[in-house]
Amino acid sequence: MIDGTRTMNGLTIFERRQNILRLLAEQPGLKVGDMAEIFQVAEGTIRNDLNALESEEKLRRVRGGAVLASALVSEVEIANRIPATVTHAEIKQRIARWAADTIEDGDTILLDASSTVRFMVPHLQQFTRLTIVTNGLETARQVAQQTSHPLLLVGGMVNRSGNATTSLLGLEMLKNLHIRTAYVSCVGFDLQTGMTERLIDEAQLKEAMLASIPRIMALVGSNKIGGVSTIPFVAPERITHFFTDSDVPAEFIEQMRQAKINLTVCGENTVRSFTVEGDRPKFTIGFANQSETLPFAVDVRRSLERAAADLGNIDLVVTDNRLSGGEALRVADKLIQRNIDLAIEYQIDYKAGNLIMNKFQQAGIPVIAVDIPMVGATFFGVDNYRAGYMAGQALGEWVALLWNGRIDHLLVLEEPRAGSLPEARIQGQLDGLQEVLHQLPAMVHHIDCGNTSAISETGVTELLHRVPDSHHIAVISFNDEAAFGALQAARKANRESDIVIVGQGADRLVHEEIRNPQSRLIGSTAYMPERYGEKLMDLAFKILKGESVPPAVYMNHLFINADNIDLYYPTAD
């Protein structure tokens, strides 16, 4: 087949044409000569490509070049048609995901019209109090469709591709806005010139929009590093944090360190942050997170990244254990290969703990174990029994008041993989409940929650089918994932009034439920994952300096319910 024939630059005709579509989506206004130079073919070859793509109704020829047939073709739609290795969509998604984690709920943020920044939009759903400003028409459309956040579109002239405004006419509306953080990309970046754009009007608008914004986050693929385009719009010293991918040259990392620009390198399996050096010695700390799918674990990781950035002398390597003991062992090997000075290990499988610790001990690396103890590691996290006891007492008081102390069935949503110490949070809930009601019900059911809401929901659904006539069912939980799964099961079975639930963690997953006085998830013991980072870093520095530390360091706990949640997790006014 003709489309399978490889050209001199290694691409098939099909691949080159798909690349042309990608370039026109990212860099509207490219001329035939530009594309011929990029693909190292004759201009006549490019014209043939453009004519073929026009016949397929994928683009429209214009004088000197072409534009996409749809002015609002999204990067995701392009990525669905073009291999990820061609579009770099996977790399952009990776960069956008980690950049989105620097957003604080309550922020007003600016998103430029770039395709890389546009990949942040799906990650905005997790926030409840954002205001978003953008000059990107496609970005605005996706924000409106995927979120409920207030959205302001910077007005002005529309560029030739129809995906952004580019003139200075709409800047008047920004004068009274207090935008805290901007997320921007560019055509090229180097440490002498800064971030640059090809088109003068786009660069001028970006420069004007960013003039009064204190925090600028640059999302730049490694393929753009070292490139300089027509006009700069942000000087290097104004960049607060620079996000790129793992193909970045090692010498660039060193240059960014010398320039004192915070840098995050987003790899496929690991993310490494190089923060501006402070007065103390530089350390590399590895964080093996329990899972990037659990809100509590994500909040722990975010707090750790904030703490590392505030200290300014930490290279933080972030990895994902994916709720798997086997993966945690592989992650430990990766961290050891990174020559880390200390490991912060957050993993679920206590049986894997000895093997993980053996790896780190053989490498001479001290370890802090988060929430799940590991022999030989300093423990940090939950005072499990006390946390459970608080929730058990609250459950007992609710049952005594509203059900006259009656419980027909008690569901215990547990996680056997976590080992003996987290079992104490279950025992604490049982003891707290018994303290108030004086005895536990005869019918107690133990369900493996799997540490996810989905598995918990399945287990509780099966139990509800077995007890169709029971109307006083109490639930204690290993964590809020399990509690939320139980609530979902009761709702789908139209039996929410038959159930009452307490959680553990007070994760953002359950904040709105707790805030609702009609919800049967009546509260949860708060572990404050958003505060873990500062305390973990303080503990890590003491260990690295050889100071004596206790074998276990606990967070303070309180029980969060509808009466006090706004004191600790306020909503927008």
Helical (H) or strand (E) element with 444: strand 444-448
Q: b/e per residue, 109-147, with b = 16+ CB within 10 A? A: bbbbbbbbbbbbbbbbebbeebbbbbbbbbbbbbbeeeb
pLDDT band per the 50, 70, 90 thresholds, residue 76? very low
Helix (H, G, I), strand (E, B) or coil at 84: helix
537 contacts: CB under 8 Å, gap ≥ 6: 304, 307, 308, 311, 314
Mean pLDDT of all residues in 41-68: 80
Topology (CATH level 3) of domain 2-69: Arc Repressor Mutant, subunit A (1.10.10)
pLDDT band per the 50, 70, 90 thresholds, residue 345? very high
Q: Distance (Å, rounded) from C-alpha 226 to C-alpha 23?
A: 19
Every domain of the chain with CATH number 3.40.50.2300 lies at: 384-526
Least confident span in 138-152, 159-173, 390-404, 540-554:
159-173
Higher per-residue pLDDT: 55 or 190? 190
Topology (CATH level 3) of domain 384-526: Rossmann fold (3.40.50)
pLDDT band per the 50, 70, 90 thresholds, residue 170? low
Q: Distance (Å, rounded) from C-alpha 27 to C-alpha 186?
A: 10
- Please tell me the predicted confidence (pLDDT) of residue 385: 93
- Please tell me the predicted confidence (pLDDT) of residue 417: 84
Q: Encode pLDDT of 434-486 as tens digits.
A: 999 999 988 999 999 988 899 999 999 999 999 999 999 999 999 999 999 99
Q: b/e per residue, 286-306, with b = 16+ CB within 10 A? A: bbbbbbbebbbbbbbbbbbbb
Every domain of the chain with CATH number 1.10.10.10 lies at: 2-69
pLDDT band per the 50, 70, 90 thresholds, residue 538? very high
- Please tell me the predicted confidence (pLDDT) of residue 167: 60
DSSP assigned state of 154: -
pLDDT band per the 50, 70, 90 thresholds, residue 166? low
Q: Which CATH number fits domain 88-268: 1.25.40.10, 3.40.50.10470, 3.40.228.10, 3.40.630.30?
A: 3.40.50.10470
Residue 64 and residue 36 in contact, taking contact as beta carbons nearer than 8 Å: no
Q: What is the pTM of this model?
A: 0.63
- pLDDT of 220 > 70? The answer is yes
- pLDDT of 193 > 70? The answer is yes
Q: Which long-range contacts (CB under 8 A, 24 or more apart) does 149-153 make?
A: 149/124, 152/177
Higher per-residue pLDDT: 34 or 144? 144
- 320: tokens are 């994902």
Every domain of the chain with CATH number 3.40.50.10470 lies at: 88-268
pLDDT band per the 50, 70, 90 thresholds, residue 157? low
pLDDT band per the 50, 70, 90 thresholds, residue 162? low
Helical (H) or strand (E) element with 10: none
394 contacts: CB under 8 Å, gap ≥ 6: 432, 502, 522, 523, 559, 561
- Please tell me the predicted confidence (pLDDT) of residue 438: 92
Q: Distance (Å, rounded) from C-alpha 185 to C-alpha 188?
A: 9
- Please tell me the predicted confidence (pLDDT) of residue 82: 39
Mean pLDDT of all residues in 236-260: 90
pLDDT band per the 50, 70, 90 thresholds, residue 2? very low
pLDDT band per the 50, 70, 90 thresholds, residue 3? very low
Mean pLDDT of all residues in 45-50: 86
289 contacts: CB under 8 Å, gap ≥ 6: 297, 298, 300, 301, 318, 319, 320, 321, 346
As a dihedral over the C-alpha atoms of residue 159, residue 164, residue 169, residue 170, rounded to 10 degrees, the angle is: 170
Residue 198 burial (10 A CB sphere; 0-12, 13-18, 19+): middle
- pLDDT of 412 > 80? The answer is yes
